Amino acid sequence: MNDMSRHFDVDTIRRQFPILDQKVHGKDLVFLDSAASAQKPRAVIDAMVHAMETQYANVHRGLHWMSERTTDAYEAARDAVQGLLNAADRSEIVFTGNSTAAINLLAHSYGRAILRPGQAVLISAMEHHANIVPWQMLRDATGIELRVADITDAGELDFADFEARLADGRVGLVAITHMSNVLGTYTPVERIVRTAHAHGARVMLDGSQAVVHRTVDVQALDCDFYVFTGHKLYGPTGIGVLYGKRELLDAMPPFMGGGDMIASVSFERSTWAPVPHKFEAGTPAIIEGIGLKAAVDWVRGIGFDAIAAHEATLTEHALARLANVEGVSVVGRAQDRGGVVSFTLDQAHAHDVATLLDRQGIAVRAGQHCAEPLMRRLGLDSTARASFGIYTTTQEIDFLADTLVRVSEFFK
Partner 1 sequence: MFDDVRDLYQDVILKHGRRPEHMRRLASFDATAKGDNPMCGDRVQVWVKYGADDTIAETGFEARGCAISIAAGDLMTEAVQGLNRGEVGRLFADFGDMVRTGTCPDCMGLERLKPLSGVHEYPSRVKCATLPWHALIAALDDKQEASSE
31 binds, among partner 1, ligand PLP, a copy of itself, none (CB under 5 to 8 A by kind): a copy of itself
Taking contact as CB under 8 A, which single stretch among the options 10-18, 57-65, 202-210, 285-293 is the one that binds partner 1?
Answer: 57-65
Looking at beta carbons only, is 125 or 401 nearer to ligand PLP?
Answer: 125
Rg of the chain taking only CA atoms, in angstroms: 22
Q: Are 229 and 34 in contact (CB under 8 A)?
A: no
Answer yes or no whether residue 282 interacts with a copy of itself by CB under 8 A.
yes
Contacts of residue 61, defined as CB under 8 A and 6 or more positions apart, other chains included, come to: 67, 259, 260
- By CB under 6 A, the count of residues binding ligand PLP is 17
Q: How far apart are CA 99 and CA 130, in angstroms?
A: 8
Q: Which is nearer to partner 1, 114 or 262 (CB)?
A: 262
What minimum distance in Å lies between the beta carbon of 380 and partner 1? 8
Tell which one of 44, 171, 223, 375 touches partner 1 (CB under 8 A).
Answer: 375
- How many angstroms separate the CA atoms of 235 and 296, rounded? 8
| Binder of partner 1 out of 265, 282, 283, 326 (CB under 8 A) | 265
Which one of residues 63, 268, 335, 379 is an interface residue with partner 1 (CB under 8 A)? Answer: 63
The residues, ordered by sequence, that sit 6+ positions from 350 with a Cβ below 8 Å of its Cβ are: 344, 366, 367, 382, 383, 384
CB 60 within 8 A of CB 260: yes
Q: Residue 9: helix, strand or coil by DSSP?
A: coil
- Concerning whether 370 is annotated as a catalytic residue, the answer is yes
Check binding of 68 to partner 1 (CB under 8 A): yes
Does residue 350 bind partner 1 (CB under 8 A)? yes
CA distances from 96 to 43, 106, 263 (A): 22, 11, 20
364 lies in the binding site for a copy of itself (CB under 8 A): yes
Spatial CA neighbour of 388 closest among 369, 365, 361: 365
Dihedral of the alpha carbons of 339, 174, 109, 89, in degrees to the nearest 10: 70
**Residue 381 interacting entry, from partner 1, ligand PLP, a copy of itself, none, C-beta within 5 to 8 Å by type:** partner 1
Q: Does 99 bind ligand PLP (CB under 6 A)?
A: yes
271 binds a copy of itself (CB under 8 A): no
Half-sphere exposure (Cβ direction) of 398: Cα atoms closer than 13 Å: 3
The binder of partner 1 chosen from 42, 116, 191, 406 (CB under 8 A): 406
* Residue 48 near a copy of itself by CB under 8 A: yes
Answer left, alpha or beta for residue 129, where phi above 0 means left and psi between -120 and 50 means alpha. Answer: alpha
Asked if 264 is part of the footprint of partner 1 (rule: CB under 8 A), the reply reads yes
Catalytic residue among 370, 374, 386, 407: 370
Closer CB to partner 1, residue 54 or residue 264?
264
The answer to whether the beta carbons of residues 310 and 5 sit under 8 Å apart is: yes
Site string for a copy of itself, 147-176 (x = CB under 8 A): -x----------------------------
**Which alpha helices (H) appear in 120-181, and where do they start and end?**
133-142, 159-166
Q: Write phi, then psi, for 293 (nearest 5 degrees).
A: -60, -45
130 binds ligand PLP (CB under 6 A): yes
Backbone phi and psi for residue 71, each to the nearest 5 degrees, phi listed first: -60, -45
Partner from a copy of itself, partner 1, ligand PLP, none contacting 177, C-beta within 5 to 8 A by type: ligand PLP
Binding site for ligand PLP (CB under 6 A): 98-100, 128, 130-131, 177, 181, 206, 208-209, 229, 231, 259, 282-283, 370
Which residues are designated catalytic? Answer: 370
